[in-house]
Structure 1
Amino acid sequence: MRVIVAVSLIIQIVSGARIQGSIALPGPDICGGDVVGHRIVSGNNQVIGSEFPWLVVVQYRPPNGGDLLTPCVGSLINQRYVLTAAHCVTAYDMGRPVSVRLGDNSTRVGAEFVILDIEEIYVHEDFTRSNFLKDIALIRLKSEVSYSKNIKPICLPSTVGQLRLREGHPLTVAGWGLLNDVPSTNRQYERVTYLDNDQCRARYSQVDIVVDPSHICADHSRDTRCISDGGGPLMAYHNGVCVLHGIMAFGGRPCGVKNLPDVFTNVGEYDQWIKKHMWP
């Protein structure tokens, strides 16, 4: 597996056929399904059955060669590609990303899932770890995944039409996350709301952290839960399907810091970048 920091030279040598293949994103008839709309904005926080079937666990081989670690997640966007955060695939102290786990509701031993090896990773060429700017990466799998009830892609904003988010708009995060700062073994989801960037920036200025216009913020009312994992999805229900609006970059810690919203990379800002780095 190779980790590739995409630069302009790489983009220039991409063939016409490769670029044509980059637009092969599933439409609403395939992506973003198997999520009951009313449960996205209400109800219990534990994922039931095949909800959020695009959630992917990224598996890392630690530097000491021990058991695989799972500190980050991603979102399946077609049969070959997963979107995640750049900080998840460039933090080599966590180890080397080697595979992904799909169709998994639980991290417990004995859970049913599919494991696919990673072929390549494309990291945004302008990613900045110090402030999580351009915090986006594309994982190419070594082979195509077969869709099933528990494995399906999420829709990107460009495939269903842009949704203009306004203050307080209901959104959803999902992942395994933490409960009382202990990793959860079950997949969970949480209702959050869109927070205007100006307000988000003002809150984080109190702790000297910069929120950029390319970020998207989500407010929460949690107490001791942190549902979002690094690289996890921020989703909106739009035109009957679930749409990926953000990729988890950072948030207030420890869990329960109510004044600090979660901050995500705004996926809509990177539609062309994503398509340029996808190939059949």
Structure 2
Amino acid sequence: MAFTRLAVFLSVLAAASPLRFYAGQGASECTALSECVPMSKCPSGLKALRRRQPLPRLCGFKSNLLKVCCPDLHATSANPVSAGQVTSTTEQNSVGRSSPPKVGARSAEACQKYSEIAFPRINLFIKNGIEAGPGEFPHMALLGYKYNEGQQNSGRTLTKGVNASWACCGTLIHERFVLTAAHCVEKEYPFVVRLGDLDWNSDEDGVQPKEFSVLRIESHPEFNRSSVANDIALIELRTQVPFNWVMQPACLPAPEENQDALRQDLLVTGWGSNAFIPLSATSMLMKARLRAVDFSECNNDYASTRTGGLLEDKQMCAVDPKGLADACQGDSGGPLQVKVKDSQLMKVVGVTSAGKGCGSSPGLYTRVSGYIEWIENVVWPSK
């Protein structure tokens, strides 16, 4: 992430402790209409916590985890539905229909479900700085490649003594899928994805990241290296991600969202270089505020380097109006994002794709809204 390094002052507003909602209430047994589970497994309890409403009855602790009597889990325990099994209402109510569900319906419904079970986060306010805080971007993923001695961004020891070189980023969008750039999985395949990290070079950054083995990689079939067209790919993980405060998915935009809808503050995040010459990798997750650039300006910027020009519905540019920040080498595959209204989650509107230097011109991003149908067919295939 190219930037002017400034002193960072953290001011943390502590989230309200869930225990204060239990004043005077001791642990008790649950009724036949509820089930005693950790708070993190109770959707209605988490929803009440976010809204600062009274929480379900306390029923004990598991290690140091609060357990509550959860009524909604008991009601649906016979037919549990995981986040990865979301299907559109249209699909459920149209038995025997011949037409597929509306493009965007499956990802929108998944976003709604993820929002309802999202973990509340402490608000972090960073004055004049761009270091991310713990759990601020819980959808961020690091892609790990075969370890090569001396390679930049490499050397972090993973669990079970396995080493990996970090070279690209990604976005968790589902309990089994990570969104990234096709050029990140073109010549060399990542074998592991790391989620929940903040500083990959420290074990004392206040988070507990985990590694997930890669099952398969699905690059867009029309990816073109020379023009960087269709620079988007999906990574399927071998095991399901257990959502928590440092590992939560991001949402996807609606297919009709275009550049005009993105004229707001955008955030780009990554573990890439913090300068272009000389390249200097950072182990700390960084963030920068950007603005979308008019497509004609974006296309003119890349006309000489991208044969045939850019694709307006598939590519976009973003830049820091102050010229201080930009995505840089190593940030590839990471998200350009906005906050989802009335939700703890972020929406990934772009995938970091290419650039001419770091900060010298608008960065080029794959426009996610142009690929919703392709993403849904891989992540949420119709039955």
Q: TM-score, normalised by structure 2?
A: 0.59
Cα displacement (A) at 1:91: 2.3
1:51 aligned onto 2:136: yes
Shift of the 170–61 alpha-carbon distance from structure 1 to 2, 3 Å rule, reads same
SS of 1:178's equivalent? Answer: coil
SS of 2:379's equivalent? Answer: coil
**Structure 1 residue aligned with 2:177, among 81, 106, 122?**
81
1:217 paired residue number? 317
Cα displacement (A) at 1:162: 4.0
Cα displacement (A) at 1:157: 1.1
1:199 paired residue number? 297
Cα displacement (A) at 1:90: 0.7
SS of 1:277's equivalent? Answer: helix
1:176 paired residue number? 271
Give the unaligned 5+ runs of structure 1: 1-18
Q: Which amino acid aligns with 1:236?
A: V
Deviations 1:130-174 (A, max 9, x none): 111111101110010101111100011139x84763585211101
1:151 paired residue number? 247
| Contact kept in structure 2, 1:123 and 1:136, CA below 8 Å | yes
SS of 2:284's equivalent? Answer: coil
Q: Which amino acid aligns with 1:101?
A: R
**Deviation larger for 232-241 or 191-200:** 232-241
Q: Which amino acid aligns with 1:204?
A: Y
**Deviation larger for 132-141 or 239-248:** 239-248
Q: Which amino acid aligns with 1:132?
A: V
Identity of aligned residues (%): 28
1:230 paired residue number? 332
Alignment of 1:37-116 (within 5 A): 44-62=129-147, 67-92=163-188, 96-110=189-203, 112-116=208-212
Cα displacement (A) at 1:278: 1.9
**Deviation larger for 228-237 or 141-150:** 228-237
Q: Which amino acid aligns with 2:116?
A: D
Cα displacement (A) at 1:202: 1.4
| Contact kept in structure 2, 1:30 and 1:152, CA below 8 Å | no
| Contact kept in structure 2, 1:167 and 1:195, CA below 8 Å | no
**Structure 2 residue aligned with 1:265, among 366, 369, 375?**
366
**Deviation larger for 220-229 or 268-277:** 220-229
| Contact kept in structure 1, 2:120 and 2:245, CA below 8 Å | no
Distance 1:274 1:198 in 2: 27
| Contact kept in structure 1, 2:252 and 2:347, CA below 8 Å | yes
Deviations 1:190-236 (A, max 9, x none): 00001111111112235566332110110124447646701010012
Give the unaligned 5+ runs of structure 2: 1-99, 150-154, 156-162
Shift of the 207–81 alpha-carbon distance from structure 1 to 2, 3 Å rule, reads closer
Distance 1:248 1:63 in 2: 24
Shift of the 151–167 alpha-carbon distance from structure 1 to 2, 3 Å rule, reads closer
Question: More relative contact order in 1 or in 2 (CA 8 Å, sep 6+)?
Answer: 1
Cα displacement (A) at 1:68: 1.3
SS of 2:192's equivalent? Answer: strand
1:129 paired residue number? 225
| Contact kept in structure 1, 2:194 and 2:212, CA below 8 Å | yes
Q: Which amino acid aligns with 2:311?
A: D
Cα displacement (A) at 1:69: 1.0
1:142 paired residue number? 238
Distance 1:143 1:207 in 2: 40
Q: Which amino acid aligns with 1:211?
A: L
| Contact kept in structure 2, 1:32 and 1:155, CA below 8 Å | no
SS of 1:276's equivalent? Answer: helix
| Contact kept in structure 2, 1:31 and 1:155, CA below 8 Å | no
Higher strand content, 1 or 2 = 1
SS of 2:230's equivalent? Answer: coil
Shift of the 205–163 alpha-carbon distance from structure 1 to 2, 3 Å rule, reads closer
Q: CA RMSD in A?
A: 3.2
Distance 2:263 2:164 in 1: 39
1:186 paired residue number? 284
* 4+ aligned runs moved over 6 Å, structure 1: none
Deviations 1:44-94 (A, max 9, x none): 311112101000001111589x941111010000111100000000123xx
Distance 1:60 1:147 in 2: 24
